[in-house]
């Protein structure tokens, strides 16, 4: 994929996990990229300094200045807080940063005439769906403030389309995992709450990881999730930008593989890759964990010709483990 006119894409949250992977893929594909990140949770070293603008999303004037440096073709909006547990302790943080921050961004886009947006949404907009694999027609029913903050932005975008003609594609990620196969960027959350990096940490440190419940109504009693490789998620964003450029109307798409893995199956995959046992114990359920979350992503595959190439569990774990070793 090459871009003849070197279209400029503004990436918010480009110093974060999925944002930094997508930025590299955009550059590989020939796009020009400018990253806006306040570095509150992202990593400065994940972005080429010449491309980084340290601006807070709530600073509308600052965003307008970045957007006015050179014509921006589209925005990919990753910047957000993502910790479900934290969102249930300090929801104000989530509504302030994720909702008010997005509103500020869209305001700056309207002021500078940018009318294409790809938005990082989440499976958490569906809450605890009864029908699995989950279709995009499933109603919004978030069960935490994080998911609600994403629903609010998705709804805001529908009005911005209707009133201002700002077209958007919302990608509802399932469980993002793995690292850049070339080893350039990967996952580094602080504090880390995600299963796969915590399994790696247990291997490295010998401190057991707790599996949250083994009494769910699933075949082995542990929760099932749809793990999707970050490189495949990145490619979905590029396809979304291309689709908007080709005139596709606003839409929301699930980004997952349609195949679920239980916590114990993931643990086993990690053991196979690292070649030793993962120290672990079984603890109580974590509040708010749905037993089964698997995407139906047919629409993304059909409409945008998205093909996940790296999302088999072994590739996810291998690339993630290589990053874990490099990082430490």
Query: CA distances (Å), 251 to each of 162, 254, 257, 313, in order?
Result: 13, 10, 19, 28
CB of 119 to ligand UFG, least distance (A): 14
Could you say whether residue 211 binds ligand UFG (CB under 6 A)? yes
In sequence order, the 6+-apart residues with CB closer than 8 A to the CB of 182 are none
**Interface with ligand UFG includes 185 (CB under 6 A)?**
no
Backbone angles phi, psi at 175, to 5 degrees: -95, 100
209 scored as a contact of ligand UFG (CB under 6 A): yes
Q: What is the DSSP letter of 170?
A: E
Give, in order, the Cα–Cα distances in Å from 1 to each of 28, 29, 61, 309: 8, 5, 34, 16
Does 193 bind ligand UFG (CB under 6 A)? Our answer is yes
* Residue-level length of the chain: 328
Say how many C-beta atoms besides its own lie within 10 A of residue 88's C-beta. Answer: 15
The set of residues, in sequence order, having a beta carbon less than 8 Å from that of 80 and lying 6+ positions away, is 13, 97, 98, 101, 102, 120, 149, 150
Residues 11-30 close enough to bind ligand UFG by CB under 6 A? none
Least separation in angstroms between CB 207 and ligand UFG = 11
Instruction: Confirm or reject binding of residue 280 to ligand UFG (CB under 6 A).
Output: no
Q: Which is nearer to ligand UFG, 65 or 201 (CB)?
A: 201
Shortest separation between residue 105's beta carbon and ligand UFG, angstroms: 20
Q: Among 122, 149, 235, 297, which residue sits at the site for ligand UFG (rule: CB under 6 A)?
A: 122
Catalytic, 146? Answer yes
- Find the part of the chain contacting ligand UFG (CB under 6 A) among 5-13, 44-52, 116-124, 239-247: 116-124
| Stretch of 15-23, 41-49, 122-130, 303-311 contacting ligand UFG, by CB under 6 A | 122-130
Q: Give the binding-site size for ligand UFG (rule: CB under 6 A).
A: 21
DSSP code of residue 134? B
Binding residue for ligand UFG (CB under 6 A) from 65, 96, 194, 299?
A: 194
* Strands laid side by side in the 8-12 sheet: 52-53, 32-36, 8-12, 74-77, 116-122, 167-173, 251-255
Binding site for ligand UFG (CB under 6 A): 82, 84, 122-124, 146, 175, 193-195, 198, 209-212, 223, 225, 263, 286, 289, 293
Q: Which residues are catalytic?
A: 146
């Amino acid at each position: 994929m090459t871009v003849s006119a070197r279209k400029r894409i503004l990436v918010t949250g480009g110093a974060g996990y999925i944002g930094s992977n997508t930025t590299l893929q955009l550059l590989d594909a020939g796009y020009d990229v400018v990253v806006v990140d306040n570095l509150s949770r992202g990593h400065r070293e994940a972005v080429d300094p010449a491309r980084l603008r340290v601006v807070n999303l709530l600073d509308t004037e600052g965003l307008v200045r970045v957007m006015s440096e050179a014509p921006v073709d589209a925005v990919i909006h990753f910047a957000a807080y993502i910790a479900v547990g934290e969102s249930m302790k300090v929801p104000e943080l989530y509504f302030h940063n994720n909702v008010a921050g997005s509103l500020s961004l869209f305001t700056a886009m309207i002021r500078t005439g940018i009318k294409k947006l790809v938005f990082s949404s989440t499976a958490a907009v569906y809450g605890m769906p009864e029908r699995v694999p989950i279709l995009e027609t499933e109603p919004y029913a978030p069960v935490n403030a994080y998911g609600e903050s994403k629903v609010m932005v998705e709804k805001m975008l529908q009005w911005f389309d209707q009133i201002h003609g700002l077209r958007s594609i919302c990608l509802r990620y399932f469980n993002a995992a793995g690292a850049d196969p070339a080893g350039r960027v990967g996952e580094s959350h602080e504090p880390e709450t995600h299963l796969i990096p915590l399994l790696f940490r247990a291997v490295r440190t010998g401190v057991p990881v707790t599996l949250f419940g083994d009494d769910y109504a699933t075949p082995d009693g542990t929760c099932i999730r749809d793990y999707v490789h970050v490189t495949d998620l990145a490619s979905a964003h590029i396809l979304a930008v291309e689709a908007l450029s080709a005139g596709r109307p606003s839409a929301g798409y699930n980004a997952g593989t349609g195949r679920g893995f239980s916590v114990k199956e993931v643990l086993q995959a990690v053991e196979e890759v690292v070649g030793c046992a993962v120290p672990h114990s079984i603890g109580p359920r974590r509040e708010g964990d749905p037993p089964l979350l698997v995407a139906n992503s047919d629409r993304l595959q059909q409409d945008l010709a998205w093909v996940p190439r790296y999302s088999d569990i072994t590739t996810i774990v291998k690339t993630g483990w290589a990053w874990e070793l490099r990082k430490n």
